[in-house]
């Protein structure tokens, strides 16, 4: 049973560029959340998707957007990259029925230069 | 919004000793408190969780306690082993709220 899978694992982008990160949830999970983890800090909630709609959003600007597909997989898009966007981006999935128990993938390391 | 504070930021123990990590939260409506272990270069792994209708939960060498009145919860690891060395995060959330708020982590080092 595959867990949460994310791609790519590492990437380097230039300031001003755009990036798309991808996530496949754990089998049986229909809800996907995205978190940003800066070095030395805990994960910060970006947003959550359920039934292909953004259900809740954290304190992140509109440059951060997402999408969920009918197969429950999800994408995180970040436009107009800033140096401060360099971080580990974590995808977490859960079954809606479990309330709030979430399981993380290994993350995508984004470096903005 | 919810605010979670975690202490200590670093903890070093001898193999076989116990380790305790403490967290406090601000939102009295929070009712779910998981703990995650994050090894270098990996994503956080859920190791134990507790809901507000329970005061203590144990799983082998790991236990979590919750004091709802004081709004704090703790992770206890007994008989520590070198493979317990990692960064540990606490978190708090409301049921079906979507958002989990994390502490800033505790780097645990277990010396052989």
Return the number of CB contacts < 8 Å for A and B. Answer: 66
Asked if B24 is an interface residue toward chain A (Cβ–Cβ < 8 A), one would say: no
How many whole angstroms separate alpha carbon A44 and alpha carbon B99? Answer: 9
Task: Report whether the peptide linkage leading into residue A111 is cis, meaning its omega lies within 30 degrees of zero.
Answer: no
B110 forms beta bridges with B13
H helix or E strand, kind and range, residue B65: strand B62-67
Asked if B6 is an interface residue toward chain A (Cβ–Cβ < 8 A), one would say: yes
3-state secondary structure of B95: coil
Mean pLDDT of B2-29: 97
Q: Which residues, 6 or more positions from B55, have their beta carbon under 8 angstroms from its beta carbon?
A: B65, B66, B67
Measure B15 CA to nearest chain A CA, in Å: 25
Q: Cβ A48–B99 below 8 Å, yes or no? A: yes
pLDDT at A1: 63
Among A45, A56, A100, the residue with its CB nearest the CB of B95 is: A100
pLDDT at B96: 67
B50 φ, ψ (degrees, to nearest 5): -145, 145
Asked if A84 is an interface residue toward chain B (Cβ–Cβ < 8 A), one would say: no
pLDDT at A50: 92
Mean pLDDT of B40-60: 92
Q: Is the pLDDT score of B6 beyond 80?
A: yes
How many whole angstroms separate alpha carbon A36 and alpha carbon B24? Answer: 22
Per-residue pLDDT of chain A (113 residues; tens, 9 = 90+): 679 999 999 999 999 999 999 999 999 899 999 999 999 999 999 999 999 999 999 999 999 999 999 999 999 999 999 999 999 999 999 987 776 788 999 999 999 99
Asked if A95 is an interface residue toward chain B (Cβ–Cβ < 8 A), one would say: no
Mean pLDDT of B44-73: 94
Q: Which residue of A has its CA nearest to B92?
A: A100
pLDDT at A14: 98
Among A45, A104, A106, the residue with its CB nearest the CB of B99 is: A45
pLDDT at A99: 65
3-state secondary structure of A83: helix
């Amino acid at each position: 049973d595959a867990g949460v899978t994310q791609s790519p694992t590492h990437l380097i982008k230039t300031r001003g560029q755009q990036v798309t990160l991808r996530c496949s949830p754990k089998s049986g999970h229909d809800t996907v959340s995205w978190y940003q983890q800066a070095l030395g800090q805990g994960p910060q909630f970006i947003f959550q998707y359920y039934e292909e709609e953004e259900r809740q959003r954290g304190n992140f600007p509109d440059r951060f957007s997402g999408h969920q597909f009918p197969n429950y997989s999800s994408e995180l898009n970040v436009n107009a990259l800033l140096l401060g966007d360099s971080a580990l981006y974590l995808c977490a999935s859960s079954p809606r029925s479990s309330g709030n128990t979430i399981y993380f993938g290994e993350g995508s390391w984004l470096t903005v230069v | 919004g919810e605010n979670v504070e975690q202490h200590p930021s670093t903890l070093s123990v001898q193999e076989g000793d116990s380790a305790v990590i403490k967290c406090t939260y601000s939102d009295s409506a929070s009712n779910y408190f998981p703990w995650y272990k994050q090894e270098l270069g990996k994503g956080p792994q859920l190791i134990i969780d507790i809901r507000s209708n329970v005061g203590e939960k144990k799983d082998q060498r790991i236990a979590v306690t919750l004091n709802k009145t004081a709004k704090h919860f703790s992770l206890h690891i007994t008989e520590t082993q070198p493979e317990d060395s990692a960064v540990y995060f606490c978190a708090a959330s409301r049921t079906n709220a979507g958002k989990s708020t994390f502490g800033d982590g505790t780097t645990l080092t277990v010396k052989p």
